[in-house]
Structure 1
């Protein structure tokens, strides 16, 4: 049963609605649909949107800029909703075309549409009911009614009982009729005699006790019984394999001698203190592509529009060549294949039914739609302002905690040190917390960064519980008055369940203010798999009812990809989370904000 059906313009003006449970909806599923699907251009990529206890489906008319939405309970399966939305959209567009344009934006210009909607709904519900009855009439037979069941032992017994014959007589008759069947029928009878005892009687208590004694004594030959003395007990024990010494005659070093994490003299020169300028997150780097002209030649992905002239409305057949070329263009820019397909479908959906005068204007319209879609995707509604959040936490008398997560080798420790320098250059006193207790040299690497930046490091060596170290580090930072705690975690693949469980435990117990996923800008499809795997593991393995997921993304090696910026688009589209920083070099000052205009120009550059 439907809960709500409404029609509104893309501008937000509601034109008509009908509710079956007025005032009983939990939350506002329509607002959630607008915020997470329509405004982020995901309408063409998904068919249904789930929020809370509700499911939402929609239909869009781009000519009149109408959106028809149906809300119903998530547990229900209503197969007629798609057809209902299409018919309601067409019927309502017919009503609007009969109203003067200046009167279409009133609150409820079509109060008489309720009767038309009721007739459409009643017709479709009756059709769905007839389809369910037809499926019930064609219900498959039960197993007990099939021939396969009749060939089983239970089926034979039931058929014999119905026929009025005993199992023994039926067996005898079948054996008499077929000499080949006597041997086949005798074997099941022997099995039944073994199960019930000779003569078909149940086992006696003495026989059961004798069988239990035999099982306790063990089976096999007399000399091999459990507890029996034999030559195995008198034979000398096998000598275990001795460990091989790879150092010749030298005595191997102990674990205490090999542990350099707590020694002051480590044989390495002291790190040089880094002296640099204040980080400018908006400073230009590399060679950014120049802004492309809105018009231009007829080559490239725009050549397929040369036949679209006049006031013809755009149809899917007209846009298919352009969408295919655009999808291929996005894949060459390192966008994940499925993400590129969904984005192209969203662009196509937003252009259906539109019309312009002239070829040049049409090209500008299509390019403008592409730029708006890509810009909207790369600019999520939620923005991470690290300095403001750290200042707010400091005012509350607690440290601001950031947890860096990601796969192996993407540069989490280096990115952590860059963020630490950025915070220090803006007046904060961050502390580094070494929770990578798995990789050899991880603590020493972080100590080198701490010495170079003259920042404190909290560490407890290797082989310990990372979540406990993080808890102690946050507690220590609060006692010592440090403003920010930067937690370094071990790299792990998203399908490594034990390590992902440990990461979920660390995030759940410490509840950091920001969970920052560090990924490479060089990868395409793999980046999507990684971030989906991390979010899935953090959700499934969390002991909290409201699990913490990834809050932001930091892309490394962004200076090495030229115009192949597709990983940024794929990650933001998949998670809906912003890219907080991008790494553009090897020094502590080489971090920047994501330049959205640069990314859009790079993606559309032929």
Structure 2
């Protein structure tokens, strides 16, 4: 049974619609995510080279749609995806043919009026041309497709009745086929049914289940029989060995201490590495050195000559004084314009070797007519290989190319005007469609200006605490909520290093930063952040950011190892609020995306502290692996943080917080293979804030959409 059926334009205008249930329609999400943003998960979009019908799973619905690109129409149906309705694709095709047969001229008049800039819905038939004249009278929009309800009902009844007949006439395997004709020679085979022989017709689910049960029974019987034999042999061999040589008593193994066992004072003292823990080597006390046998941070002579690349520093606005990191320029991304490429296809193109990208665009050889799937197939296949070579995940490359192809089917290629051949017009149409698709995917859907968001939160929360003196002497800051950013990711991608780069950027913008060491698992994680804080403090002094008499602009908040990360982050936020810090950067332990206990612990940190941003740090070197990591991180955070009961929000699986943005590391090692940026943005729809390009604190870059698109399209 269907739930919803609609006929609408690709601009979102609903021409006709019918709902069979009162449940809300998923078509708005389809238009926004699948048609406009061209974004879906790898398991959501299923396309076939032999069918123009696309499928997209949304929540409990299966959504199928068919495009009529020549008229910018979308025929779309939704039903519960637990149902098996094999006739829906044929139903869409039949409805499309019947609708166009009856209303092609009417729809064409609407399209022509929209192209001319005239709103036919408002102005009516007076300006819609002869075909649209008189369509909108006193009855309004319902008058246009009068009679279509009856036609649609007739088509739907035919398909449903045929489906019911086919279901009844489907031959079912008889249960007698499971009974052997003669008794089996084996005892185990005599007690278990035999596997049904494959018949010409389909085997039903009940027969398959009986076959599986029979196979499992045989396997268990064989294991029992073999186990008795091997067990007897083992016993005899063990007996002969014991008679020959006496066995030595094994040492008593220490009892395992489980996580739910009682923790003694000795356990706490043995694993407490916090700075205020008593130690014989440093004499105890909070003013002692951070580690036994090592000098305090203030006593270390720091050479800052190699910590900042002066040529890689960003720019500072002369009016506002804001410091912005430099843009990342993809090597050779300037490229050539399409006009230059078309000119080179003339007389001068023979002197140059044909590039790979130009080669697969040149495969289009058309007469002046509408593009078909057969015309586009070789070009789209080469386009998919090109994107995969750029390090785009294979599943995502397939979905993007399929979406581009279906948006071009039925488009008319005009050989006149700017073009002198239909093949050139076809190549330009494919290139422009791919360019537009990539731009839509990569364009951020939310603001990427972190400085603006930090300023807004400070302004909103400082007003309540205006005039209250802070611990460091600042007025109007104590009591203001700091802006919290949590960095998450797998092991070894560079979370702590890039956190320190972000801290350097914030310090250049005159913000006070508190770094919370919530990686209480990895050895040396706290010490690594302590070194970064020391270096950033020295750089702040040398670059003229720190002024005499002002409190330190960057500090570390840590409580050692083996502690609850969520509790440390909560205490860090409270400390930052009390002492007038503007931003809190929360460093978390690296964890694999499939480790459920560690993902639950991370989700607990998110649910308890509700940071303003959750930034996923990933490597630009990986393709399919990056998609798997980001997808599972995002899903686990949403499910587990929702189950933890985030304050002020709905609880339950899928109701929690997900990833808000990404930072890609090691971006200077990939040249123009920037496909990971496309893959990660496609999966989440979230922006890429920065990319890391080196080892110094200034090696942080902004990634522009135009640079990524040019790098993806160039050879």
| TM-score interval for Structure 1 and Structure 2 normalised by the shorter chain | 0.7 to 0.9
Q: In the TM superposition, what is the alpha-carbon distance from 1:563 to its structure 2 partner? A: 0.6
Unmatched 5+ stretches in structure 2: 47-53, 112-119, 122-140, 192-247, 255-267, 277-287, 317-322, 346-353, 416-420, 462-479, 538-553, 645-651
Match of 2:503 in 1: 420
Matched, 1:132 2:241: no
Q: What is the alpha-carbon distance in structure 1 between the residues aligned to residue 68 and residue 657 of structure 2? A: 38
2:698 alignment counterpart = 589
Aligned residue for 2:96? 89
Distance 1:261 1:345 in 2: 57
2:416 is equivalent to residue 333 of structure 1: no
Pick from 34, 39, 45 the counterpart of residue 37 of structure 1: 34
Taking structure 1 as reference, are residues 122 and 416 closer, same or farther at Cα in structure 2, changes over 3 Å only? same
Aligned 1:398-417 pairs, distance under 5 A: 398-417=481-500
Matching residue of 2:671:
562
Q: Are the counterparts in 1 of residues 4 and 77 from structure 2 also a CA contact under 8 Å?
A: yes
3-state DSSP of counterpart to 1:347: helix
Greater Cα shift, 299-308 or 31-40: 299-308
TM-fit CA distance, 1:75: 4.4
Cα distance change of structure 1 residues 486 and 88 upon mapping to structure 2, 3 Å threshold: same
Shift of 1:584: 2.6
TM-score when normalising by structure 2:
0.65
Q: Is 1:489 the counterpart of 2:581 in the alignment?
A: no
- 1:291 paired with 2:335, answer yes
* 3-state SS of paired residue (2:531): helix
Q: Is the 8 A contact 2:9 2:73 kept in 1?
A: yes
Whether contact under 8 Å (2:619, 2:666) holds in the other structure is yes
1:185 maps to which residue?
none
1:295-314 superposed matches below 5 A: 295=339, 296=341, 297=344, 299=354, 300-304=356-360, 305=362, 308-314=365-371
Partner of 1:226: none
How large is the RMSD of aligned CA atoms in angstroms?
3.5
Is 1:318 the counterpart of 2:375 in the alignment? Answer: yes
Shift of 1:410: 1.2
- Residue in structure 1 matched with residue 517 of structure 2 by the alignment: 434
Quote the residue 1:227 is aligned against.
none
How far the C-alpha of 1:306 sits from its partner, in A, is: 5.0
Q: Distance in 2 between matches of 1:314 and 1:586?
A: 50
Distance 1:11 1:239, change over 3 A: closer
Q: Given the superposition, is the C-alpha separation of residues 13 and 459 from structure 1 closer, same or farther in structure 2, using an over 3 Å criterion?
A: same
Q: CA deviation at 1:556?
A: 1.2
* SS of the residue 2:106 aligns to: coil
Contact 2:630/2:680 (8 A) holds in 1? yes
C-alpha separation in 2, matches of 1:74 and 1:45: 13
Q: Report the CA distance between 1:282 and its aligned residue.
A: 5.0
Structure 2 match to 1:532: 631
- Report SS of the residue matched to 1:361: helix
CA deviations over 1:410-435 (Å, ceiling 9, x no partner)? 11111111222223333432210001
Superposed, 1:116-195 pairs within 5 Å as 116-135=151-170, 138=172, 141=175, 146-147=179-180
Q: What's the offset of the Cα at 1:302?
A: 3.5
Which deviates more from structure 2 when the two are superposed, residues 504-513 or residues 460-469? 504-513
Give the superposition deviation at 1:236: 10
In the aligned structure 1, how far is the partner of 2:424 from the partner of 2:513? 55
Residues 76-115 of structure 1 mapped to structure 2, 5 A cutoff: 76-99=83-106, 101-103=108-110, 106=121, 107=141, 109-115=144-150
Aligned length: 514
Please give the secondary structure, in 2, of the residue aligned with 1:563.
coil
Q: Is the 8 A contact 1:417 1:449 kept in 2?
A: yes
Give, in whole Å, the separation in 2 of the partners of 1:149 and 1:429: 86
Q: Which moved more, 1:122-131 or 1:3-12?
A: 3-12
Whether the aligned pair in 1 keeps the contact of 2:363 and 2:378 (CA below 8 Å) is: no
Separation (CA, whole Å) in 2 of partners of 1:506 and 1:51 = 29
Residue 289 of structure 2: aligned partner: 264
Question: Aligned pair in 2 of structure 1 residues 505, 270: CA closer, same or farther (>3 Å)?
Answer: farther
| Residue 2 in structure 1 maps to residue 111 in structure 2 | no
Structural mapping, 1:66-85, within 5 Å: 66-85=73-92
Q: Is the 8 A contact 1:302 1:322 kept in 2?
A: no
| Alpha-carbon contact 2:366-2:375 (below 8 Å) kept | no
Q: 1:334 to 1:270 in 2, by over 3 A?
A: same
Question: Displacement, 1:550?
Answer: 1.4
Counterpart CA distance in 2 for 1:421 and 1:342 is 39
- Show CA shifts across 1:501-531 (max 9, x none): 3222222322222111001112222211211
> Structure 2 CA distance, aligned partners of 1:379 and 1:533?
23
On the 8 A contact 1:271/1:448 being kept in 2, the answer is no
Residue 448 of structure 2 corresponds to residue 367 of structure 1: no
Cα displacement string for residues 412-462 of structure 1 (whole angstroms, at most 9, x for unaligned residues): 111111222223333432210001112221111111222233301110111
How many Å apart are 1:70 and its aligned residue?
1.3
Once structures 1 and 2 are overlaid, which stretch shifts more, 266-275 or 334-343?
266-275
- C-alpha spacing 1:423/1:288, structure 2 compared with 1 (3 Å): farther
- Structure 1 pair 485–150 and aligned structure 2 pair: CA distance change class (3 A): farther
The range that moved more, 91-100 or 450-459, is 91-100
In structure 2, relative to structure 1, the CA distance for the partners of 1:360 and 1:451 (3 Å cut) is same
More displaced 10-residue stretch of structure 1: 56-65 or 271-280? 271-280
| Distance change >3 Å, CA 110–CA 238, structure 1 → 2 | closer
Indicate yes or no: 2:324 matched with 1:280. Answer: yes
Give, in angstroms, the shift of residue 74 of structure 1: 4.7
Contact 1:375 1:596 in 2 (8 A): yes
